[in-house]
Amino acid sequence: MENDKNNTFTNHDERDPNPWLAMYLDLSIPINDTTKLCLMRDNDSKSTKFLLPIIKVVSKILMFIIHVFKFFFPNLINSSKILHRILSWGLKNFVSRDANLLIFRHFHVGSEIMEFIAANIDEIEIKTSPLKPYNFEDIKDDLFLKHDLNLYNFVIKLNKQLKEKGIAIKGKKPLDLSMISIDQFNHIEFPNKFTNVLDLRSAIELFTPFYQLFLTSNDFVRASNSLQLDETIAIYTSQILGTPGHLGLVNNKHPMVPETTYSAAYRLVLHGLAAETLHEILVNMKLHKNTDGIMIPKN
């Protein structure tokens, strides 16, 4: 990855500056460096420039057709197992190395954030089910569906306990950051064949109709609506930390007013970005602060 970094965005033309070089160098938003490099390189890819506009139109047309089909035949085609085999095959053979890294890393980051919340609320005991895939076979075990189910079940279990005990969220002192990994995610080698060309958003746009076709309507709508729980998770974390500033980095908001499923692909990318920024805040706390939130001077 270091070699990739050195070979990326090396030229700066002041009369034609690369916007993704500017975003990569900008430090205003906290984010893992490898994630940022992959995301900016993904944005600058030929797939994003030339394939994505076409794929977005095709995806929306297919989603409308499937929507009508599911209205008349809601249970004719429902198979999470087939869906995840298609996703595993598609990611392995057609999605770029950068996009695959962003997708795989998201499960690790999301799992660690939920583990952090569960471990740091006073008087609450919740067992989480971390999802941390390391290869394409792990995807076949209903990985994407379990990700959405885990999120909703976590919110339900947490708030049931809060209501039963008549308490509000209060962070433990000292904070437990043991589950937060300080990792550039270089330990998985992703395929980089001539067919691995699809950028992140193109891949999501293509996979969304399959998601809609092979899942029940409840599963698909729940998956789409789960993206707006970014705000909910961010609020939980701000209540634990007592620092609401990072809420400004959340774009998927207002979970009680759901968005249409046709915007799910774009919001999914925003969801990944929100998770990455929140995780990086926790990483920085672990690196530069003690668990009471007191700054530790760098050596």
What are the tens digits of pLDDT across the range 201-247? 999 999 999 999 999 999 999 999 999 999 999 999 999 998 887 78
- What angle (nearest 5°) sits at the alpha carbon of residue 131, between those of residues 177 and 48? 100
Q: Which helix (H) or strand (E) holds 93?
A: helix 80-94
Residues 188 and 132: their CA atoms lie apart, in Å, by 12
Residues 84 and 65: their CA atoms lie apart, in Å, by 21
Residues 107 and 121: their CA atoms lie apart, in Å, by 22
Distances (CA, A) of 205 to 39, 95, 191: 16, 12, 20
Residues 190 and 283: their CA atoms lie apart, in Å, by 24
Tens digit of pLDDT for each residue in 63-89? 999 999 999 999 899 999 999 999 999
Fill in the amino acid letter for 260.
Answer: T
Average pLDDT score over residue span 257-283 = 94
Of the candidates 282, 273, 279, 258, the residue with the CA atom closest to the CA atom of residue 43: 273
Q: Enumerate residues 6+ apart whose C-beta is below 8 A from 237.
A: 113, 116, 117, 246, 278
Is it the case that residue 9 has pLDDT exceeding 80? no
Of the candidates 271, 138, 147, 131, the residue with the CA atom closest to the CA atom of residue 204: 271
Of the candidates 126, 162, 130, the residue with the CA atom closest to the CA atom of residue 239: 162
Least confident span in 47-51, 153-157, 186-190:
186-190
DSSP string, 95-139: B-HHHHHHHHHHHHHHHHHHHHHHHSBTT-----------SHHHH
Q: What is the pLDDT of residue 289?
A: 61
Residues 290 and 192: their CA atoms lie apart, in Å, by 40
For a pLDDT cut of 70, what percent of the chain falls above it?
93
Fill in the amino acid letter for 223.
Answer: A
